[in-house]
Structure 1
Amino acid sequence: MLRIWSPRAPFLPGPRGCFLALREQQHNLIRHWPAFRRTVTTDRSTQQPNLRVPLRKQLKDEAKSLKTQNRLKKGANRPPQHDGWELTVGIEIHAQLNAETKLFSKAPTKLAAEPNSNVALFDLAFPGSQPAFQSPILLPALRAAMALNCEIQPVSRFDRKHYFYQDQPAGYQITQYYEPFARNGFIDLFEHDGIAPEDGKKVRINIKQVQLEQDTAKSQEYPPSAQLLDFNRVSHPLIEIITMPQIHSPATAAACVRKVQSILQATSAVTTGMELGGLRADVNISVRKRDAAPGLGEYSGIRGLGQRTEIKNLSSFKAVEDAIIAERNRQVTLLESGGVVIGETRGWTIGSTETRRLRAKEGEVDYRYMPDPDLGPLFIDSQLVSALSDTLPDLPDQLLDTLVGPSYGLSIADAKPLVELDGGARLEYYQDVVDILQTLQQSHEVVIKNSLGRTVANWVLHELGGMLTKADVGWDSDLVPARTLAELIDQLLRKRITGPIAKQVLTMVFEGDKRPIQNLLEDEDLFLRPLSRDEYLALAEPLISANPEMVAQIRDKNQLGKLGWFVGQMMRAGEKGRVEAQRAEDILRELILGG
């Protein structure tokens, strides 16, 4: 029984005194319960409260509580009160193409130091200026569409989409709404892509169309009332990828955008992703009762779907997921309270918990689509499509299959970041290191490539990757050239140096040491000089004698993990760089376990 003592409780003899003391104790317990729960523990031997709790335990308990709260917050992805509702999401992804010029002018697309310096008369909608389609832009657009399994249309046409906003100087945007250059594609998402558990192991999202269109100006607000416009981005070539409304969870929607970005980067269709503003997403969201009778919804004419709203310009994968969660919750709450969802365009601010209304949702009539009279049809030759198809690089799914296959033998956890990081540059570096290392190891009787692949992945992702993170620098293969890392790992695998020495040398190279690995090891006297058996015994025996309790736990309770502590102590006590962890463990096993 836990006894609670309160210094404020008055002491009175008899039943009344006991009653008053108990009431005061209950009052204090209720009033101070959160703090009390963190600071009071019970000594099981005496069943008395211990009001002094170690700081480490308090911090550990608070961290555990915060972790639980975050897990519950993530659980909002599918809260119990929404189980009777089905979410439906369609996505429109806008990606800036890897092109040297604008879509309809020869103005450069490269980032300029000065605003409004990379513009042509047509970009600024000067009277009398006319669009001139730049045909090289079609190449990255076609690579993207084919990688998304789309059917390339032999003839496509441009439309004018009319709306008046300050970032659109012409009063209309040139796009391909009715006759796009690509249709009927799909993208497959798997467990390792981060789809929601309820979607199973694989889900296919169909792509309605991929269309060419021009980008708008970039606006910058200067409170309280100024807003400046940079027209360098106007008419930058975009593709808009429109999925079918087939996504039913926020996590899968974010995974879809992430997968599309990786595909576009793998084909060099784009040069930047969401993190640098080269890719943006609009999401269309609707909810409906799961047991509702089929009816005509307001979502692209799909039967049985609810009234949709659109959230514009989401600039991160997390924003996609969080905004969908917030809008789904808003719509369900509104419908359950007897309200009606209105078709509208809404906005999202990072860090918010609610979407906000921007304007009424425009329809086809509001945009007054019309064929662009200044641009003729776009004809795409089948031979061009065939040639591009033959030279299409491996896509992320194919690269993953190669890395986890027998050639490299990686886990999905290691293969995915190699494919996704740094636009493929990290993967290219990794493969270079493996190839060079395999050549260096040819003198060995047996060279197992997948064993080398796993070793190199550890050094590229964890050792070198950790240094990049700590130094807060972007990927640069020149910091540690591929041959340098391969030579360092080669020395380690040949047991000429120890693991700690290899990490020390990697740090030296990362920080600017340009000496070849062989010279560096010789100059710094870092080559391994193996200890004899007697020297290992001299390190191990005093440790075993001084720690009989740990020895008993290893021997009698099979707590083999404690061997690592003894190994660490031997490496600290021995001469730096000479104690080999595996040999130290072998000696310990022999002395403690008898074999």
Structure 2
Amino acid sequence: MSRIPTTELSRYLLTGRLSRRGCLNARLPRIAALRQANRTSPSRAFGTRVEPATAVPSDATAAPTTAPLRKQLKEQAKVLKASGKRKKNKADNQTVPGWELTVGIEIHAQLNTARKLFSPAATSFNDKPNSHVALFDVAMPGSQPLFQPETLIPAVRAALALNCAIQPVSRFDRKHYFHWDQPAGYQITQYYHPFARDGRVVLYARDGIAPEDGDRVEIGIRQVQMEQDTAKTTAQPGGVHWLDFNRVGLPLIEIITLPQIRHPATAAAFVRKVQMLLASVDACVLGMEAGGLRADVNVSVRRTGGADGRELGTRTEIKNLSSFKAVEDAIIAERDRQIAVLEAGGVIEGETRGWSLGSTETRRLRGKEGEVDYRYMPDPDLGPVVIGDDLVAHLASSMGVLPDAEIDGLIEKYGLSAKDALSLMTLDDGARIQYFYNVLDALEARLGLGDENGGAIAPDQRHALLAANWCLHELGKLTEFPSDLGMTPEGECHVPSVALAAILSHLHRKDITAKVAKELLWGIFRGEIPADSVTQTIDAKNLWFNELSEAEYAQLADKVVEGEDKVVGEFLRFKQGKARAYPQGKLMFLVGKMMRAGTEQRMDPASAERVLRARLEDVHIPRLEAR
């Protein structure tokens, strides 16, 4: 293949003009479309000049408004309902009788680094478009890649978290393809000699795997490779695309699994677990929601048993899935499509497919490229990467506690449920768990618990459960969108941890009611109450809890059971052994009635339940006992 002259490359980069000679002829349909876009919108089309993504379109009325994600899903659900189709419950849609699903996943994660992979330009996520671009990033003639050694640190930490074997020597390759978001016409990656191999991730039932996988499943990782990211493309009306080259060259790792996943829910759980692992070692600070992690899934089906069950079926790849829900939904849709094609006597084509949010079907994008199409070759401008054992040992010893060990600690030490522990670990890209620890430390300091300088040891962990409940549920009720809380990686938000600890310390001591505590939380979130004046606000507004005495609770309990012979009879039958289960629902019905009959500001539901339960032990209904 002849070398493309520098003059032709410069015409491509600066004006979008491409030669019809040589290997580019195979791409002429796409090139023709781009040239047509240049004629229709010469000022903003690809190839003339790169417009900042913040520029305002010439026709402001033509710019479509983007609806919130929740609203989009609701609209799509309405359309689906109107069409008469219904989605199966995901729990019942993990398998198809007579068929076996095989899934492999490729995860691309942006590394947490200050520099790009092959240029000294700074990494940027929210800065002004095209403000951090080096000559090599846009493939200026004569520019050379310069590997930035500091990008290795988060990459190795990520590979160690995935239980991979770090390779002492790795090398970079060129993966050739033409697209406007890749100026050089190739991407630098590590196809043949990656820096890490042979890893594994263990998934448990608490991670959300499919019930068919039991309590535990292990997914093998074939390799982890470093590679550079592409430019960010922002679609505009009229077929125009704006390019932000700040993202070109950002260091990525690509995590490639073995084809060992058999159920859609397990695939989604795997991606979620990988995101949590990468965040825990500070390798990747942006999750799927923020665009820092993207997943491609390879899907194939085959009949269970029989002659054709010995080999995997033809696989298709679904590109750029950007949420855990999309991973599961897209796999289910593609599995069902392939089964329908095979049952109709058709043949599955190896191809690349796409997925739209809220859709029920995948769509064809293009034929599947293979190793020959990408023309992999060693990069002649980059030498091998040598990773010393001393660096690996140091990073392994400084990683700290990994998510599974931390979740086990939350369950065993503080009594949290597996679901709550996992939620704390995953919310806000791992910042919510740090917020919980901040609240817990401040709460224990106010209660005088766990102080190394002589504080008392807590006889139980009720205060920790209280803190976890409020950090998860009550905090989540403040806003529809978690991002509105303003949670930082350091574990602080619009409700400072010390303020929430102050509220919970009074609630734990029963100085205030839960209703008052919630009102205080709302006041701090809205900025109506200063974060450092919780106690002063309670005092100024006389919100202190003056609880009823035992005698007053007992008097109310006797009052609410009057006339409830049928309900009370359920407790008597349980006492006599005529009912198997304690009538807890009936008890809570009476507690609610008791709370309404008394003064809410002076009553604690737990105390009301305790007194009422004791009174019911002594209740007698003669006509029922005579039966």
TM-score by length of 2: 0.77
Partner of 1:74: 90
**2:506 alignment partner in structure 1:** 491
8 Å contact from structure 2 (residues 265, 328) kept in 1:
yes
| Aligned AA (2:588) | G
* Structure 1 residues 183-227: Cα deviation after superposition (integer angstroms, max 9, x where no partner): 111111111111111112111111111001011112222233322
Corresponding position of 1:412: 418
Q: Distance in 2 between matches of 1:238 and 1:472?
A: 25
Farther off after superposition, 468-477 or 449-458: 468-477
- 1:254-292 CA distance string (max 9 Å, x none): 111111111111111112111111111111122222223
Query: Measured at CA, do residues 314 and 583 of structure 1 come closer, stay the same or move farther in structure 2, by a change above 3 Å?
Result: closer
Is 1:356 equivalent to 2:363 in the alignment?
Answer: yes
Work out which of the residue numbers 604, 613, 616 in structure 2 matches 1:580: 604
**CA deviation after TM superposition for structure 1 residue 399, in Å:** 1.0
CA distance in 2, matches of 1:75, 1:517: 45
Q: 2:464 maps to which residue?
A: 453
Distance 1:75 1:526 in 2: 46
User: Taking structure 1 as reference, are residues 330 and 450 closer, same or farther at Cα in structure 2, changes over 3 Å only?
Assistant: same
User: Structure 1: how far apart are the matches of 2:342 and 2:117?
Assistant: 44
2:318 to 294, 311, 314: 311
Report the identity percentage. 54
Give the letter for the 2:470 counterpart.
Answer: W
Structure 1 equivalent of residue 445 of structure 2: 439
Q: Which residue of 2 aligns with 1:464?
A: 475
- Aligned position for 1:372: 379
Q: Which residue of 2 aligns with 1:59?
A: none
Measured after TM superposition, the shift of residue 322 of structure 1 is: 1.5
Separation of aligned partners in 2, 1:323 and 1:461 = 29
1 CA distance for matches of 2:257 and 2:159?
Answer: 13
SS at match of 1:123: helix
**How far did residue 426 of structure 1 move?**
1.3
CA distance in 2, matches of 1:202, 1:98: 30
- Which structure would you say has the larger Rg? 1
Give the direction of change, closer, same or farther, for the CA distance of 1:84–1:222 in structure 2 (3 Å limit): same
Residues of 2 paired with 1:472 and 1:171: CA distance?
37
**2:399 corresponds to:** 392
Return the letter of the residue paired with 1:432: N
Query: Where in structure 1 are there 5+ consecutive unaligned residues?
Result: 1-64, 296-302
Per-residue CA shift, 1:523-572, capped at 9, x if unaligned? 12122223345544665555455x44566456656655344344444444
Provide the aligned C-alpha RMSD in A: 2.7
Matched, 1:564 2:588: yes
Q: Deviations over 1:482-528 (max 9, x none)?
A: 23322322222323223333333333333321143332222121222
Q: CA deviation at 1:93?
A: 0.6
Aligned to 1:35: none
In structure 2, C-alpha distance between the alignment counterparts of 1:445 and 1:100, rounded to whole Å:
44
Distance (whole Å) between structure 2 residues aligned to residue 227 and residue 560 of structure 1? 61
2:543 aligned with 1:526: yes
Contact 1:112 1:118 (8 Å CA) reproduced: no
Pairing 1:403–2:418 present = no
Task: Tell me if 1:207 matches 2:224.
Answer: no
Corresponding residue for residue 338 of structure 2: 331
The aligned counterpart of 2:115 is 101
Cα distance in structure 2, aligned partners of 1:555 and 1:239: 62
What's the counterpart of residue 47 of structure 1? none
Aligned-residue offset at 1:118: 1.8
SS of 2:221 mapped into structure 1: strand
CA contact (8 A) 1:156 1:379 kept: yes
| Distance of 1:590 and 1:156 partners within structure 2 | 71
Which amino acid is 2:231 matched to?
A: A
- Aligned residue number for residue 48 of structure 1: none
- Residue matched to 1:505: 520
Contact 2:276 2:430 in 1 (8 A): no
Do 1:100 and 1:109's aligned partners in 2 also have CA atoms closer than 8 Å? yes
- State the secondary structure of the residue aligned to 2:601: coil
1:95 CA drift (Å) = 0.7
Unaligned runs of 5+ in 2: 1-80, 450-454, 575-582, 620-627
Residue equivalent to 2:234: 220
2:395 maps to amino acid? L
CA contact under 8 A between 2:485 and 2:494: conserved in structure 1? no
Aligned match of 1:91 in 93, 101, 105? 105
2: CA distance, partners of 1:445 / 1:145: 42
What amino acid sits opposite 2:152 in the alignment?
Answer: L
| 1:449/1:510 CA distance change after superposition, 3 Å | farther
Deviation, 1:391, is 0.5
- What is the rounded CA distance, in whole Å, between the counterparts of 1:87 and 1:534 in structure 2? 65
The answer as to whether partners of 1:76 and 1:325 remain within 8 angstroms in 2 is: no
Give runs of aligned pairs for residues 418-429 of structure 1, distance below 5 A.
418-429=424-435
Q: Could you tell me how far apart the structure 1 residues matched to 2:369 and 2:553 are? A: 79
Distance of aligned partners of 1:592 and 1:151 in 2 relative to their CA distance in 1, 3 Å threshold: closer
Work out the CA distance in 2 between the residues paired with 1:561 and 1:122. 69
CA displacement 1:88-109 (0-9 Å, x = unmatched): 1111111111111211112221
Query: Is the Cα–Cα contact under 8 Å of residues 159 and 175 in structure 1 kept in the other structure?
Result: yes
Structure 1 match to 2:13: none
Give the 3-state SS of the residue equivalent to 1:90 in structure 2. strand
CA distance in 2, matches of 1:284, 1:534: 68
Taking a change above 3 Å as real, the CA distance of residues 419 and 472 of structure 1, as seen in their structure-2 partners, is closer
Written as runs of structure 1 = structure 2, the 5 A alignment for 1:121-132 is 121-132=135-146
Deviation at 1:307, TM superposition (A): 1.6
CA contact (8 A) 1:124 1:231 kept: yes
Contact 1:468 1:475 in 2 (8 A): no
Q: Secondary structure at the match of 2:320?
A: strand
Q: Tell me, what secondary structure is at the counterpart of 2:471?
A: helix
TM norm structure 1? 0.81
In structure 1, what is the equivalent of residue 354 of structure 2? Answer: 347
Change (3 A) 1:126 1:560: closer
CA 1:98–1:583: 2 relative to 1, 3 Å: closer
Report how far residue 437 of structure 1 moved. Answer: 2.7
Deviation at 1:306, TM superposition (A): 1.7
Letter in 2 for 1:261: Q
**Paired AA for residue 426 in structure 1:** R
- Structure 1 pair 491/342, CA: closer, same or farther in 2 (3 Å)? same
How far apart are the structure 1 equivalents of 2:567 and 2:202?
Answer: 54
For the residue of structure 2 that corresponds to 1:410, the secondary structure is coil
* Mapped contact 2:428–2:483 kept (Cα < 8 A): no
The 1:292–1:554 alpha-carbon spacing in structure 2 relative to 1, beyond 3 Å, is closer
Contact 1:266 1:423 in 2 (8 A): no
Alignment-derived partner of residue 134 in structure 1: 148
2:478 aligned counterpart, secondary structure: helix
> Alpha-carbon deviation of 1:117?
2.2
Q: 1:156 to 1:86 in 2, by over 3 A?
A: same
Q: Distance in 2 between matches of 1:416 and 1:318?
A: 17
